[in-house]
């Protein structure tokens, strides 16, 4: 019996001992096709020689230097690269160790920005229902999943929640996608007015919703409407691209596909591709200038900010994505994957929707296609899919109905960018095997 304290105290997990390209290998020698990169992390697959060499070299040269004393070469090089790739005036990079920390930093930067600007009353955050932004207390407060939040209330920051952009369930039959987007922006506007615009500091959202809805992109125009609204009321827009960013949707930054530039942009998972834990918050020139003209100091920090080995790993990952032309590959593989999923599952009685962008795809499971009725959450269908998929040698990321409206179960797919065309058939075959086990 292992002494590791997992999240679940009742489940046991196989021991992962190796990784080989798109496969993970357990202690029994079983190989799993890693079609979710854990949780959209391992975008370069496992055992990438270029990244391993970069990590080994950095550990041998300088593993760590505290960021209150030094900058390091990989930290500077990675920040330069990200700032160059990032849109608009997102010119600065605040490094952290993961997604929750990136969101936490964004929330604290936003708060301090308004204090520095002389608008200290702005401390209210608006987020969306059924969202996930991390598990630290600030990020948890932002998230809109009642089941996760309820035990920890009252949470530490003031947050209210508006509807997510979820066309499959919420767009009315009489509505165009554009009209649905306009309706959602009007709902956000009403919430801003209810709170008083001078009280609101930020709106936070994922451009393509990952874990909580299953790869759901926004309808056209929605994010442009949100951006305009934030500008009109002096509210900061935070895009949480922890899961959908760094190429996953076919663009390095998913918000660029919406034609907008946020004020703060959070990245993690695919940034270091799992070779090292790393995340970052990209910060606009305007925010940084305000700090420069004010206290000149961000009241925040962690021991492992800009960890040299983590930055070297992320730099090697991002260089590999650029040098190997993987962004174009993500787009063509993504189309092929969508087509293969539709061919195999669109007539499945319990597959309600197949959607996504790039190598970020979601399948929604329903009791009845026509009514879109979700399965009862007590069935824990998503957990059954996960077990059946693991048995079939497939890692996918099923998530389930929550207390928050019981909106159903879905399967998230986020395979590695390095996968080959033939892997699509393998993925779809194994998924079919898992669904047959669950539904037969």
Applying CB under 6 A, the residues found at the interface with ligand PMP are: 39, 98-100, 103, 132-134, 206, 210-211, 240, 242-243, 268
Smallest gap, in angstroms, from Cβ of residue 143 to ligand PMP?
8
Number of continuous H segments (helices) and E segments (strands) in the chain: 14, 17
Smallest gap, in angstroms, from Cβ of residue 74 to ligand PMP?
20
- Position of tokens 């305009």? 228
Smallest gap, in angstroms, from Cβ of residue 106 to ligand PMP?
10
Which one, 133 or 307, has the nearer CB to ligand PMP?
Answer: 133
Smallest gap, in angstroms, from Cβ of residue 317 to ligand PMP?
16
Which run of H or of E encompasses 364? strand 360-365
Smallest gap, in angstroms, from Cβ of residue 125 to ligand PMP?
14
3-state secondary structure of 312: helix
CA-CA distance, 430 to 425, in Å (whole number)?
A: 8
Which one, 6 or 121, has the nearer CB to ligand PMP?
Answer: 6
- Nearest one of 386, 387, 414 to 399, comparing CA atoms: 386
3-state secondary structure of 228: helix
* Cα torsion 161, 165, 166, 171: sign: positive
Pull the structure tokens for residue 89: 């005036």
Which one, 116 or 206, has the nearer CB to ligand PMP?
Answer: 206
Smallest gap, in angstroms, from Cβ of residue 40 to ligand PMP?
7
Which one, 164 or 329, has the nearer CB to ligand PMP?
Answer: 164
Which one, 270 or 408, has the nearer CB to ligand PMP?
Answer: 270
Strands 360-365 and 397-399: unpaired
Smallest gap, in angstroms, from Cβ of residue 348 to ligand PMP?
26
DSSP state of 3: -
- Position of tokens 């530490």? 156
CA-CA distance, 196 to 335, in Å (whole number)?
A: 43
| Bond into 82 cis (ω within 30) | no
Q: Are 316 and 82 in contact (CB under 8 A)?
A: no
Q: Are 87 and 118 in contact (CB under 8 A)?
A: no
Which one, 290 or 318, has the nearer CB to ligand PMP?
Answer: 318
Which one, 48 or 240, has the nearer CB to ligand PMP?
Answer: 240
Using the CB atoms, write b or e for 203-231: b if 16+ within 10 Å.
bbbbbbbbbbbbbbbbbebbbebbbebbe
Smallest gap, in angstroms, from Cβ of residue 268 to ligand PMP?
5
Which one, 127 or 261, has the nearer CB to ligand PMP?
Answer: 127
Residue, CB closest to ligand PMP:
99
């Amino acid at each position: 019996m292992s002494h590791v304290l997992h999240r679940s105290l009742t489940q046991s997990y196989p021991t992962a001992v190796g990784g080989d390209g798109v496969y993970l290998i357990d202690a029994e020698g079983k190989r799993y096709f890693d079609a979710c990169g854990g949780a959209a992390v391992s975008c370069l697959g496992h055992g990438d020689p270029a990244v391993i060499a970069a990590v080994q070299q950095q550990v041998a040269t300088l593993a760590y230097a505290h960021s209150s004393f030094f900058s390091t070469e990989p930290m500077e090089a990675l920040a330069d690269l990200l700032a160059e790739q990032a849109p608009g005036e997102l010119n600065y990079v605040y490094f952290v160790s993961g997604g929750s920390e990136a969101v936490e930093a964004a929330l604290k930067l936003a708060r301090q920005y308004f204090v520095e600007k002389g608008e200290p009353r702005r401390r209210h955050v608006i987020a969306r229902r059924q969202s996930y932004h991390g598990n630290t207390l600030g990020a948890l407060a932002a998230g809109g999943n009642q089941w996760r939040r309820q035990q920890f209330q009252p949470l530490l920051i003031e947050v209210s929640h508006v509807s997510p952009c979820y066309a499959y369930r919420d767009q009315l039959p009489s509505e165009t996608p554009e009209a649905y987007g306009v309706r959602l922006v009007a709902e956000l506007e009403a919430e801003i007015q209810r709170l008083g615009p001078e009280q609101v500091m930020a709106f936070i959202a994922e451009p393509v919703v990952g874990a909580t809805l299953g790869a759901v992109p926004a309808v056209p125009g929605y994010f442009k409407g949100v951006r305009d609204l934030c500008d009109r009321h002096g509210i900061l827009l935070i895009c949480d691209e922890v899961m959908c960013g760094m190429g996953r949707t076919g663009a390095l930054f998913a918000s660029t596909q919406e034609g907008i530039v946020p004020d703060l942009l959070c990245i993690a998972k695919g940034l270091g591709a799992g070779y090292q834990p790393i995340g970052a918050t990209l910060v606009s020139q305007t925010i940084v200038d305000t700090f420069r003209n004010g206290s000149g100091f961000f009241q925040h920090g962690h021991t492992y900010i800009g960890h040299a080995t983590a930055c070297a790993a992320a730099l090697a990952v991002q260089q590999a994505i650029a040098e190997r032309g993987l962004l174009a590959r993500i787009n063509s593989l993504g189309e092929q994957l969508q087509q293969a999923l539709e061919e195999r599952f669109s007539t499945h009685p319990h597959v309600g929707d197949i959607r996504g962008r790039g190598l970020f795809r979601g399948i929604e499971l329903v009791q009845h296609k026509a009514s879109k009725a979700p399965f009862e959450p007590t069935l824990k269908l998503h957990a059954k899919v996960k077990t059946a998929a693991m048995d079939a040698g497939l890692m996918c990321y099923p998530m389930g109905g929550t207390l928050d409206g019981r909106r159903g179960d879905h399967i998230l797919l986020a395979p590695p960018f390095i996968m080959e065309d033939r892997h699509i058939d393998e993925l779809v075959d194994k998924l079919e095997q898992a669904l047959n086990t669950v539904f037969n």
